[in-house]
Structure 1
Amino acid sequence: MQALSLPTWIIHISSVIEWTVAIWLIWEYDKKHPQRGWRNLAWAMLPALVSAMCAVTWHFFENLDSLEWLVTVQAAMTLIGNITLAIAAYGIWRISRKVQV
């Protein structure tokens, strides 16, 4: 675990926890406001969470060469996560326009 400093570990781990809590809060919000697309946003956040977990795992094992594939998975999950988040946000925007009109 010496690949990162203690403050960097705190930031990495708290970011994973914050992202998990955000997904849960959005999921709960969707229960109160169904058919508004919020559940899709919670699902769309999962690839970014996987990306963060890949980074933490790789650093936890001190950036082992045998786990370098995690870097590729992290990059792919970041790309997929950004795309799914954009799609989910667009869906919420479209639904909100229909509700207002």
Structure 2
Amino acid sequence: SHKAIATILGAGLAVSAIVSPASAAELPLLGSSLQLSEPSNALSLPTWAIHVSSVLEWIIAMALVWQYAEESGYESWKGLSWGMVPLLGGAFCACTWHFFYNSESLEVRLPFFQALVALQGALTVIGNTAMCVAAFRIYKSLQGRSENL
């Protein structure tokens, strides 16, 4: 199951890196000569592949950390998984911003986008702090166990 997921993600990444068009705007629509209309600041297909695969990889890492905590009995590792949640939220903010072509005009028309970059930054700070605290808690819990050996 995990091997199949890794194979699919790896194959998708390899294909996206080989694809010659730099963005979706360069791909013809169903064989016609019509071109998609994307602005010059649109992300390329390989860049989107990296963004999406990074988010998927982060979700898998969160699940693996949680699974390790349950199977090993080191409950403090669950805190690390919880600390990763705000960073995932920050990744979703960044992908949302990119989906709308990093457009400054969106900030004027849609108030939500005014706060999107600030929210992404705040979630990054919160997530980094939470992971730092979680790592310290893991260290302290393991330190206590090593003294009992």
| Range class of TM-score, shorter chain | over 0.9
Q: Select which of 42, 45, 61 maps to 2:84.
A: 45
Under a length normalisation based on structure 1, what TM-score does the superposition of the two structures give?
Answer: 0.92
1:4 to 2:43 alignment: yes
Summarize the alignment of residues 55-74 of structure 1 with structure 2, pairs less than 5 Å apart: 55-63=94-102, 64-65=106-107, 66=110, 67-74=113-120
Question: What is the aligned-residue identity percentage?
Answer: 45
| Structure 1 unaligned blocks of 5 or more | none
Query: Which structure has more helix as a fraction of its residues?
Result: 1
1:100 partner letter: S
| Structure 2 unaligned blocks of 5 or more | 1-23, 25-37
Does the CA contact (< 8 Å) of 1:52 and 1:74 recur in 2? yes
Does the CA contact (< 8 Å) of 1:41 and 1:85 recur in 2? yes
CA distance in 2, matches of 1:10, 1:35: 34
Residue-pair matches, total: 101
**Deviates further, 34-43 or 74-83:** 34-43
Under a length normalisation based on structure 2, what TM-score does the superposition of the two structures give?
Answer: 0.64
- Could you say which structure has the larger radius of gyration? 2
Runs of 4+ in 1 over 3 A off after TM superposition: none
Counterpart in the other structure of 2:55 = 16
The CA RMSD over aligned residues, in Å, is 1.4
1:28 to 2:67 alignment: yes
Q: Residues 19-62 of structure 1: CA distance to partner in whole angstroms, max 9, x if unpaired?
A: 00000011111111224411111001001110001000111122
Q: Select which of 127, 133, 142 maps to 1:87.
A: 133
